[in-house]
C-alpha cells in the first residue's frame, strides 16, 4: 500500500478497497459491519461517504479492534505448532498450507511464524503489557482519583456509571459505552488512549475467564492472555474491581472540569504502558504493514485450521499428540492427519479435509463430501467417525446452504455428531430446522465462533466432548449453578425514555416481576427487580436466586410510549448456568411490547419467544 499519509478515514478507506486489501462485500462483509457499528456510522449511505468525518487514525484504531480475533487465531495456531515441535524434539519445524484456489500456497518455518505473530501484536496494539503489571494499571486509575466534583457523583455520564456497575457483575460485557470527553484536545486524546487501554484489558478478561467466577479456577485450563499481560496480575485487577473504579473515576474527573493538570499526570501514567515501537510508525503505516503480511492475505483460509486448535483444547485431557513428519506439518487439501488423542478409547485421530464418497447429496457437493475437520476412531479401516466439523466465514448465514451441508455430512457419516461453525451470525433453530428430519438430532450450528466469544467456544467444547462420550468440563459447575444466580438485564439508548423489564414466571404465569412487584430473592419466586429505571443510557436488572421447575418469559414493555419500542434500540442479556444469551430488538416488533425469550427453569434452555 505505502501511499501518502492521509488524515480522513474516507480517503484511507478508498485506498484500502482500490488496492484490494479489503473487500466491502463477500467475506470481509462481517468485518465491515462490525467496523460500522464501532464507529457508529450511518448505514443509509455508502461507507466511504459515512467516513468523511472520521479521522484516519480513528479508523485504523477501530480496524485493529475488529481484526483482533484474527490475531488471536494466529496466536493459537502458533501455540499448536510449538507444541508439535516440543513433542517431536525438533529444533525447527516447517509449516505448509495448501489451500484450494489461486495463491493457494503458504509456507513458514516455526521461527518465522512466531516472529510474524509477534509483529502482528506490535502493529495492532497501542500498548505493550507484557512487561507491566497491576501497579501500572492502578497508576492510571490514580491519575483520575485526585479530581472529584463537589457531589462526588457523575451527572453528565450516566452510561459510564451504569457500565461501572455492570463491570462488577457476571459475565464481562462485550464492550464499553461511549467514553467521557473533554473540550481540551490534548486531554481528550489521552482519555481516548485510556479507553483503548481499558478495552484491551477487558478483552483479556473476556478471553481468558469469560466471567468473574472463573478467576478462581485452575490456571492450567486457561488460554493465554491475548495482550501478554501477566495472568496473576489480571486476576488481581479483576478481583479488586479496577474496571469499575476506573470508569467511575474518569466520569467524576470530567464532571470536575479538570484540564491541563490532569493531562500531565495521565501522560506520565500511560507512558510505561505504551507500545514502544522503535520506528514510531503512524497508525496508517502500521495498518499498511499488517495488510501486507501473508497471514492477513490468507486470514479466511486459516479459519478452519484455527478451529482445530479449539478441538484440541476441548480434548486436552485426552492425551493429544500433534503430528509432524521429518520436521514438517503439511495442511493438504487432499487431507491431513494432524493429531491423535491417545487416551480416548477407542483412540481418535484428528483429520483435516477428510474426503469420502456420498451418493445423492442434497447440497452443492458432487459425489463426495469433504468436511474441514473430522475425528476418526481406531481401527482406521472401519471408517468410524464420531464428529464432523464444517467451518464457514459468512457475514450473513445462508440457512439453506448450511442446512444442506449438515444434512450431507450427517448422511455421509451415519454415526457422527455434525457441527457447523460460522465466524459471523446466524440462527441455530432456523438452520437446524431445515436439516433432513432423519439426521436433524445429530446436527448443530454455532454462530460467532471466534476468539473472545465465550458462549460459542463453550458450546463447541460441549459438542466435541459429547461426540466422544466424555463428560463436559463444566458439568460440575453447571450442576452447582442450577440453583444459583441468574440475571436478566435490559439496556436502551434513546427514546422511548421509560422501558420496563418484565419476567413472567409459570405457564400460565403465577408471578410477574416488574415495577409494580419487585419480587423477592428470599421467597418464591426467588426473583427480584433491582430498580425501576426511567431514562435511557442505564438499565434494569432482574436477579434470579433459584430456578423453579417452570417456564419463564422475558418481556420489554414501552411504558412511556413517546416513540415505537424498537427505536430505543433495547438489548437484553440473559445469564443462565454461567452462559450469557444476548438479544437485540428486531425492527418489526409491536410498538409497545417485545417478547424477548423463554427460559426453561428445569433445563436452563433459552429459546426465542
Task: Name residue 419's beta-bridge partners.
Answer: 389, 444
Question: What distances in angstroms separate CA 94 from CA 79, 290, 321, 329, 404, one per listed residue?
Answer: 14, 22, 17, 6, 36
Rg for the chain (alpha carbons), in Å?
A: 25
CA distance 4 to 7: 10
7-16, 250-259, 278-287, 467-476: least confident range: 467-476
Strands, sheet with 519-520, edge to edge from the N-terminal-most edge strand: 519-520, 527-529, 539-544, 486-491, 571-576, 579-584
CA distance 482 to 455: 17
Angle made by CA atoms 368, 374, 380, in degrees to the nearest 5:
90
User: Is-contact 407 441, C-beta < 8 A?
Assistant: no
DSSP, residue by residue, 70-81: HHHHHHHHHHHH
Evaluate if pTM is beyond 0.85.
no
Instruction: Write the burial class of residue 61 (CB in 10 Å: 0-12 exposed, 13-18 middle, 19+ buried).
Output: buried
Retrieve residue 530's grid coordinates: 433491582
CA distance 533 to 426: 32
Q: What are phi and psi of 539, to 5 degrees?
A: -175, 165
Highest mean pLDDT among 159-173, 336-350, 455-469, 483-497: 336-350
Retrieve residue 331's grid coordinates: 495442511
CATH 3.30.420 fits 303-473, yes or no: no
Using 50, 70 and 90 to split pLDDT, how confident is the model at 527?
very high
Q: pLDDT tens digits for 450-465?
A: 987 777 888 899 899 8
Nearest to 388 by CA among 412, 404, 359: 412
Domain 482-607: top CATH class: mainly beta
Domain range annotation of the chain: 9-125+282-297, 134-273, 303-473, 482-607
Mean pLDDT of 324-332: 87
Q: pLDDT tens digits for 553-582?
A: 999 998 888 888 888 878 788 888 767 787
Torsion from C-alpha of 332, 465, 71, 190, nearest 10 degrees: 180
Inform me whether the pLDDT recorded for 491 exceeds 80: no
CA distance 242 to 285: 33
Q: Which residue has the higher pLDDT, 590 or 125?
A: 590
CA distance 459 to 455: 6
CA distance 173 to 301: 30
Give 330's DSSP letter.
E
Amino acid at each position: 500500500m505505502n501511499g501518502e499519509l492521509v488524515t480522513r478515514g474516507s480517503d484511507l478507506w478508498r485506498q484500502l478497497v482500490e488496492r484490494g486489501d479489503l473487500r466491502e462485500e463477500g467475506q470481509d462483509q462481517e468485518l465491515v459491519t462490525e467496523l460500522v457499528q464501532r464507529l457508529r456510522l450511518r448505514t443509509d449511505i455508502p461507507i466511504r461517504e459515512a467516513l468523511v468525518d472520521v479521522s484516519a487514525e480513528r479508523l485504523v484504531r477501530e480496524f485493529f479492534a475488529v481484526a483482533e480475533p484474527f490475531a488471536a487465531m494466529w496466536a493459537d495456531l502458533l501455540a499448536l505448532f510449538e507444541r508439535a515441535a516440543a513433542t517431536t524434539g525438533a529444533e525447527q519445524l516447517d509449516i505448509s498450507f495448501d489451500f484450494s484456489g489461486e495463491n493457494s500456497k503458504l509456507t513458514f518455518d516455526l521461527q518465522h511464524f512466531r516472529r510474524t505473530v509477534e509483529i502482528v501484536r506490535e502493529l495492532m496494539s497501542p500498548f505493550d503489557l507484557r512487561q507491566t503489571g497491576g501497579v501500572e494499571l492502578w497508576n492510571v486509575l490514580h491519575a483520575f482519583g485526585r479530581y472529584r466534583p463537589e457531589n462526588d457523583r457523575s451527572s453528565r455520564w450516566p452510561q459510564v456509571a451504569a457500565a461501572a456497575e455492570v463491570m462488577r457483575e457476571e459475565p464481562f460485557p462485550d464492550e464499553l459505552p461511549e467514553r467521557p470527553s473533554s473540550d481540551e484536545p490534548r486531554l481528550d486524546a489521552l482519555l481516548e488512549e485510556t479507553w483503548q487501554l481499558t478495552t484491551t484489558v477487558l478483552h483479556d478478561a473476556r478471553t481468558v475467564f469469560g466471567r468473574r467466577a472463573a478467576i478462581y479456577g485452575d490456571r492450567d485450563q486457561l488460554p493465554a492472555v491475548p495482550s501478554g499481560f501477566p495472568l496473576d496480575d489480571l486476576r488481581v485487577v479483576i478481583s479488586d474491581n479496577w474496571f469499575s473504579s476506573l470508569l467511575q473515576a474518569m466520569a467524576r474527573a470530567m464532571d470536575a472540569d479538570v484540564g491541563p493538570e490532569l493531562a500531565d499526570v495521565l501522560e506520565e501514567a500511560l507512558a510505561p504502558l505504551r507500545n514502544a515501537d522503535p520506528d514510531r510508525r503512524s497508525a496508517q503505516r502500521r495498518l499498511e504493514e499488517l495488510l501486507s503480511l501473508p497471514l492477513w492475505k490468507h486470514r479466511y483460509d486459516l479459519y478452519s485450521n484455527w478451529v482445530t486448535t479449539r478441538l484440541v483444547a476441548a480434548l486436552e485431557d485426552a492425551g493429544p499428540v500433534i503430528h509432524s513428519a521429518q520436521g514438517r506439518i503439511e495442511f493438504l487439501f487432499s487431507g491431513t492427519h494432524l493429531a491423535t488423542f491417545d487416551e480416548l478409547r477407542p483412540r481418535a485421530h484428528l483429520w483435516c479435509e477428510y474426503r469420502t464418497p456420498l451418493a445423492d447429496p442434497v447440497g452443492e457437493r458432487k459425489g463426495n463430501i469433504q468436511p474441514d475437520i473430522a475425528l476418526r476412531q481406531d481401527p482406521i479401516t472401519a471408517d468410524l467417525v464420531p464428529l464432523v466439523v464444517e467451518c464457514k466465514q459468512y457475514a450473513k448465514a445462508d440457512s439453506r446452504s448450511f442446512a444442506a451441508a449438515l444434512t450431507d455430512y450427517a448422511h455421509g457419516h451415519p454415526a457422527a455428531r455434525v457441527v457447523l461453525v460460522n465466524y459471523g451470525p446466524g440462527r441455530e433453530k432456523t438452520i437446524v430446522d431445515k436439516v433432513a428430519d432423519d439426521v436433524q438430532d445429530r446436527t448443530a450450528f454455532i454462530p460467532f465462533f471466534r476468539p473472545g466469544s465465550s458462549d460459542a467456544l463453550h458450546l463447541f467444547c460441549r459438542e466435541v466432548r459429547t461426540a466422544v462420550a466424555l463428560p463436559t468440563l463444566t458439568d460440575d459447575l453447571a450442576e452447582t449453578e442450577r440453583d444459583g444466580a441468574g440475571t436478566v438485564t435490559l439496556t436502551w439508548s434513546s427514546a422511548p425514555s421509560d422501558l420496563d423489564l418484565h419476567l413472567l414466571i409459570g405457564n400460565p404465569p403465577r408471578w410477574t416481576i416488574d415495577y409494580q412487584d419487585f419480587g423477592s430473592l428470599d421467597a418464591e419466586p426467588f426473583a427480584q427487580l433491582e430498580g425501576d429505571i426511567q431514562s435511557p443510557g442505564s438499565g434494569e436488572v432482574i436477579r434470579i436466586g433459584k430456578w423453579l421447575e417452570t417456564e419463564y418469559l422475558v418481556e420489554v414493555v414501552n411504558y412511556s410510549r413517546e416513540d415505537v419500542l424498537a427505536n430505543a434500540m433495547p438489548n437484553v442479556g440473559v445469564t443462565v448456568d454461567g452462559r450469557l444469551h444476548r438479544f437485540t430488538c428486531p425492527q418489526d416488533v409491536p410498538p409497545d411490547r417485545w417478547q424477548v425469550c423463554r427460559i426453561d427453569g428445569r433445563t436452563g434452555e433459552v429459546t426465542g419467544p
